């Protein structure tokens, strides 16, 4: 029989400080020796959006209603980059810190959650630019609807974390997973209405398309930020899937984490 | 009173062979037969507050696995571990240090990894900095630290946790003597305050400084358990027993303990270390004259072979290497189906510690080995002359009058 009992002091709550310390370590290390520092959090989505804006406003016209294309795509690009870059970071989080994992005990999910939180900081910095863009393009701002924004962010984070927990654990066993996810996220970008509106997808494919939880999440960002309306039913489906994925991810991670130190 | 640590019949096995690091090995899993290696077998002990246990043994004996099991980095394959109290493990100095971050930032980072609350670190911050002696460099990135400063800071954080249970690996080998002494003193202090300490080392002297009780590990098994004073003698007994069983195995051995390469044209048997009184021994006084003796059975003719013996530290560092080739000794032609005793006389000017003796016999043109045993046996050196390191240069200390007076 195998049994290991943890002392009460060393429960997850006790490691709250570690979570913050590790998150700030990631952030400090990321921007320490760069001249522009946190400004990169803005530059990356902005540059990507400018490229797409050039393509879709001048060469291939995309109809985005009364919302200028740049605002339309930036609103979605920032949450998308939160999703994709946090997953890429989370996938690597266990393997990169193997020297700690194999020597010191602490809840391993801290490494994964910190990787996610560090990207959330980038997300908020980048979203400030959105507000500036909205003011420039005179888009109506309804602050009351914005109160819904935290819910959307939480759903997106839950979904990303669920995937991150599964992927980081698998990556500890099979290093192929990180390459797989780089590829997967590239395809996923095009399967999500970031650079085009949902209406571009033919009617007969809509049902299949909506099964992608990111569709509901991205559309929810747009309706709250740009159309001053509450998210549609597809967001509820996304939220449900997100919670299920998070639960499965956590259970899976906890089940295999005991093996991490043995497989180096 | 409840024991702070209860280890009941704990064993741990590892799978030998390549870990499945790519999908390809997953696909081929049917072709792989899993072989297991018992890193630790049936370890059993209980410790109460204020007790200190030393775990000693040569490399690969399972010492580090025990520490990993206690610190819950890995889990036992069978058995039960109960820890009642807050524990801290000093297994790697400066765990989680980031080179770009300053000393101050890394203290908080390292402290929280080891299980301290942020406010606890704040209250002890000055003590930690003071103990490490890095005051001036507190706001310098640790990548600019010397390795000594780095290690001092790492130990200092860990030593200020005030745990109920402290696990210490051989991390104290770093740093200068003054700092090492400070570390030992700190450990003794903690024990007096009621901390339960487990100290792992292959250095008996270090263990004697802090532990009254000791477990001697050999090949995953607890070979001796009892007072540290008795453990020294037992340790050399165990090394002797291990050496005899090792010689009995004979065939090609590659078990991680020592590697043997042989051709069967000539075979080395019964490697022994003898005192001047012709008694086999495994513990020697520094400066003692000894004979390394072994029997060679020649199954085929061996023209002018080269004989060699070498001594290594447990870390694998070569202390001494001697061959008849370098000494320009020409050996005779040995006939097939004969046996000879080979002897090297050595003066063991070695500092206290554990050493490994290896012997081998090579073809006259050095094209290959007849037989080579890298770790024929282990022996222990003791000394009262105050030498440390790996050699004993037998210093004689004098204070001479000033020649100008």
The interface pTM score, or ipTM, of the predicted complex is 0.76
Cβ distance A28 to B26 less than 8 Å, yes or no, reads no
The band of A182, judged by pLDDT with boundaries at 50, 70 and 90, is: very high
Mean pLDDT of A153-178: 94
Lowest average pLDDT, out of A17-26, A32-41, B352-361, goes to A32-41
| Residue A5 resides in a domain | no
Mean pLDDT of A55-80: 82
Instruction: Please say whether the beta carbons of B202 and B208 come within 8 A.
Output: no
Question: What percent of chain B shows pLDDT beyond 70?
Answer: 86
The band of A63, judged by pLDDT with boundaries at 50, 70 and 90, is: confident
Facing residue for A1 by CB, picked from B80, B112, B115: B80
What is residue B40's predicted lDDT score, i.e. its pLDDT?
Answer: 87
CB pairs under 8 A between A and B: 113
Facing residue for A103 by CB, picked from B21, B73, B101: B73
φ, ψ of residue A56 to 5 degrees: the values are: -90, -10
What is residue B175's predicted lDDT score, i.e. its pLDDT?
Answer: 60
pLDDT at residue B169 above 50?
Answer: yes
Domains B5-19+29-234 and B254-382 share a fold: no
Cβ distance B112 to A22 less than 8 Å, yes or no, reads yes
The radius of gyration of chain B from alpha carbons, rounded to an integer in Å, stands at 25
Instruction: Please say whether the beta carbons of B316 and B283 come within 8 A.
Output: no
Facing residue for A10 by CB, picked from B76, B101, B115: B115
Cβ contacts of B108 on chain A, cutoff 8 Å: 21
Among B112, B121, B161, most A C-beta atoms within 10 A, so best to mutate, is: B112
CA B98 to chain centre: 28
Instruction: Please say whether the beta carbons of B394 and B351 come within 8 A.
Output: no
Cβ contacts of B83 on chain A, cutoff 8 Å: 5, 7
What is residue B260's predicted lDDT score, i.e. its pLDDT?
Answer: 61
Query: What is the number of H-type helices and E-type strands within chain B?
Result: 8, 20
Mean pLDDT of B251-264: 50
**Residue B1 DSSP class:** -
Cβ distance A21 to B26 less than 8 Å, yes or no, reads no
Cβ contacts of A30 on chain B, cutoff 8 Å: none
Facing residue for B98 by CB, picked from A3, A20, A29: A29
CA distances for B176 relative to A215, B104, B111, B302, B388, angstroms: 61, 23, 23, 50, 12
The winner for highest mean pLDDT among A162-166, A256-260, B76-80, B349-353 is: A162-166
Cβ distance A21 to B108 less than 8 Å, yes or no, reads yes
Mean pLDDT of A56-65: 73
Domain span at A185: 12-262
Number of domains, chain A: 1
Instruction: Please say whether the beta carbons of A218 and A209 come within 8 A.
Output: no
What is residue B249's predicted lDDT score, i.e. its pLDDT?
Answer: 39
The CATH T-level fold of domain B254-382 is: Coagulation Factor XIII; Chain A, domain 1 (2.70.50)
| Residue A82 resides in a domain | yes
What is residue B68's predicted lDDT score, i.e. its pLDDT?
Answer: 86
Distance, in angstroms, between A188 CA and closest chain B CA?
A: 23
The band of A2, judged by pLDDT with boundaries at 50, 70 and 90, is: very low
Mean pLDDT of B369-391: 83
Cβ contacts of B21 on chain A, cutoff 8 Å: 173-175
Question: What residue of A is the nearest CA neighbor of B167?
Answer: A104
Cβ contacts of B19 on chain A, cutoff 8 Å: 263-264
What is residue A1's predicted lDDT score, i.e. its pLDDT?
Answer: 31
Cβ contacts of B118 on chain A, cutoff 8 Å: 17, 20-21
Mean pLDDT of B234-254: 54
HSE-up of residue B201 (Cα within 13 Å, Cβ side): 24
Residues A190-223 have pLDDT tens digits of: 999 988 888 888 888 888 888 899 999 999 999 9
Cβ distance B112 to A99 less than 8 Å, yes or no, reads no
Question: What residue of A is the nearest CA neighbor of B119?
Answer: A17
pLDDT at residue B258 above 60?
Answer: no
Mean pLDDT of A37-59: 78
Question: What residue of B is the nearest CA neighbor of A6?
Answer: B83
What is residue B366's predicted lDDT score, i.e. its pLDDT?
Answer: 81
Cβ distance A4 to B71 less than 8 Å, yes or no, reads no
Distance, in angstroms, between B356 CA and closest chain A CA?
A: 28
Question: What residue of A is the nearest CA neighbor of B74?
Answer: A261
The band of B402, judged by pLDDT with boundaries at 50, 70 and 90, is: confident
| Residue A234 resides in a domain | yes
pLDDT at residue A71 above 70?
Answer: yes
What is residue B344's predicted lDDT score, i.e. its pLDDT?
Answer: 95
Chain A positions contacting chain B at CB under 8 Å are: 1-7, 9-10, 14-15, 17-18, 20-22, 25, 28-29, 32-33, 97, 99-106, 173-176, 258, 261-264
Q: Is B38 exposed, middle or buried (0-12, 13-18, 19+ CB in 10 A)?
A: middle
Q: What is the CATH number of domain B5-19+29-234?
A: 3.40.50.300
What is residue B23's predicted lDDT score, i.e. its pLDDT?
Answer: 52
Cβ distance A17 to B117 less than 8 Å, yes or no, reads yes
Cβ distance B80 to A14 less than 8 Å, yes or no, reads no
Residues B304-330 have pLDDT tens digits of: 999 999 998 877 788 999 999 888 888
Cβ contacts of B96 on chain A, cutoff 8 Å: 22, 25, 97, 100, 104
Q: What is the mean pLDDT of chain A?
A: 86
Domain ranges of chain B: 5-19+29-234, 254-382
Cβ distance A32 to B101 less than 8 Å, yes or no, reads yes
Greater confidence (A44 vs A74) lies with: A74
Cβ distance B71 to A2 less than 8 Å, yes or no, reads no
Using N-to-C axis directions, what is the helix angle for B177-192 and B147-159, rounded to 10°?
A: 10
What is residue B28's predicted lDDT score, i.e. its pLDDT?
Answer: 54
Lowest average pLDDT, out of A57-66, A74-83, A142-151, B97-106, goes to A57-66
Instruction: Please say whether the beta carbons of B350 and B396 come within 8 A.
Output: no
Q: Parallel, antiparallel, or unpaired: how do β-strands B283-285 and B302-303 relate?
A: unpaired
Cβ contacts of A17 on chain B, cutoff 8 Å: 112, 116-118
What is residue B253's predicted lDDT score, i.e. its pLDDT?
Answer: 36
Instruction: Please say whether the beta carbons of B352 and B382 come within 8 A.
Output: yes
């Amino acid at each position: 029989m195998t049994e290991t009992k943890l002392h009460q002091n060393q429960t997850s709550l006790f490691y709250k400080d570690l979570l913050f310390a590790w998150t700030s370590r990631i952030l400090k290390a990321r921007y320490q020796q760069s001249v522009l520092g946190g400004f990169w959090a803005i530059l990356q989505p902005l540059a990507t959006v400018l490229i797409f804006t050039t393509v879709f406003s001048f060469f291939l016209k995309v109809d985005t209603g009364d919302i200028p294309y740049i605002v339309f795509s930036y609103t979605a690009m920032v949450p998308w980059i939160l999703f994709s870059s946090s997953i890429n970071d989370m996938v690597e989080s266990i393997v990169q810190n193997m020297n700690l994992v194999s020597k010191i005990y602490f809840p391993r999910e801290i490494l994964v959650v910190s990787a996610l939180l560090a990207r959330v900081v980038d997300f908020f910095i980048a979203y400030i630019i959105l507000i500036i863009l909205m003011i420039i393009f005179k888009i109506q701002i309804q602050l009351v609807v914005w109160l819904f924004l935290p819910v959307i962010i939480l759903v997106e984070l839950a979904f990303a974390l669920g995937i991150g927990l599964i992927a980081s654990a698998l990556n500890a066993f099979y290093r192929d997973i990180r390459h797989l996810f780089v590829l997967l996220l590239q395809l996923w970008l095009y399967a999500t209405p970031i650079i085009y509106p949902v209406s571009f997808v033919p009617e007969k494919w809509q049902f299949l398309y909506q099964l992608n939880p990111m569709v509901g999440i991205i559309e929810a960002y747009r309706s709250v930020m740009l159309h001053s309306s509450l998210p549609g039913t597809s967001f509820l489906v996304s939220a449900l899937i997100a919670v299920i994925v998070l639960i499965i991810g956590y259970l899976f991670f906890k089940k295999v984490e005991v093996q991490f130190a043995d497989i180096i | 009173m409840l024991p702070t640590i209860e280890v009941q019949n704990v064993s741990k096995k590892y799978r030998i062979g390549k870990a499945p690091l790519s999908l390809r090995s997953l696909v081929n899993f049917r072709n792989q037969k899993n072989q297991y290696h018992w890193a630790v077998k049936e370890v059993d002990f209980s410790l109460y507050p204020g007790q200190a246990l030393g775990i000693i043994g040569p490399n690969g004996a399972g010492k580090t696995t025990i520490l990993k099991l206690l610190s819950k980095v890995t889990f036992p394959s069978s058995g039960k571990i109960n820890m009642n109290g807050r524990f801290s493990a000093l297994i790697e100095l400066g765990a989680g240090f980031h080179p770009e971050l300053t000393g101050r930032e890394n203290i908080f980072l390292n402290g929280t990894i080891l299980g301290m609350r942020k406010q606890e670190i704040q209250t002890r911050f000055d003590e930690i900095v003071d103990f490490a002696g890095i005051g001036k460099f507190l706001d310098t990135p640790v990548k600019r630290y010397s390795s000594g400063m780095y290690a001092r800071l790492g130990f200092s954080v860990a030593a200020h946790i005030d745990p109920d249970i402290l696990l210490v690996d051989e991390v104290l080998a770093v740093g200068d003597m003054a700092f090492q002494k400070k570390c030992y003193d700190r450990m003794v202090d903690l024990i007096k305050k009621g901390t339960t300490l487990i100290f792992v080392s292959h250095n008996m002297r270090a263990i004697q400084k802090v532990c009254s009780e000791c477990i001697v590990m050999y090949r995953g098994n607890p070979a001796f358990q009892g007072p540290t004073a008795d453990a020294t003698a037992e340790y050399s007994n165990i090394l002797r027993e291990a050496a005899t069983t090792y010689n009995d195995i004979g065939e090609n051995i590659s078990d991680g303990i020592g590697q043997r390469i042989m051709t069967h044209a000539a075979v080395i048997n019964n490697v022994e270390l003898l005192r001047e009184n012709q008694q086999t021994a495994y513990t020697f006084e520094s400066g003692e004259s000894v004979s390394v003796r072994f029997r060679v059975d020649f199954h085929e003719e061996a023209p002018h072979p080269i004989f060699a013996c070498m001594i290594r530290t447990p870390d694998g560092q070569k202390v001494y290497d001697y061959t008849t080739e370098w000494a320009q000794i020409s050996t005779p032609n040995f006939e097939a189906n004969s046996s000879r005793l080979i002897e090297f006389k050595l003066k063991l000017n070695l500092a206290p510690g554990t050493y490994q003796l290896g012997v081998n016999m090579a073809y006259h043109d050095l094209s290959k080995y007849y037989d080579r045993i890298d770790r024929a046996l282990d022996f222990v050196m003791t000394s009262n002359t105050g030498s440390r390191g790996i050699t004993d240069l037998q210093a004689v200390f004098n204070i001479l009058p000033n020649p100008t007076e």
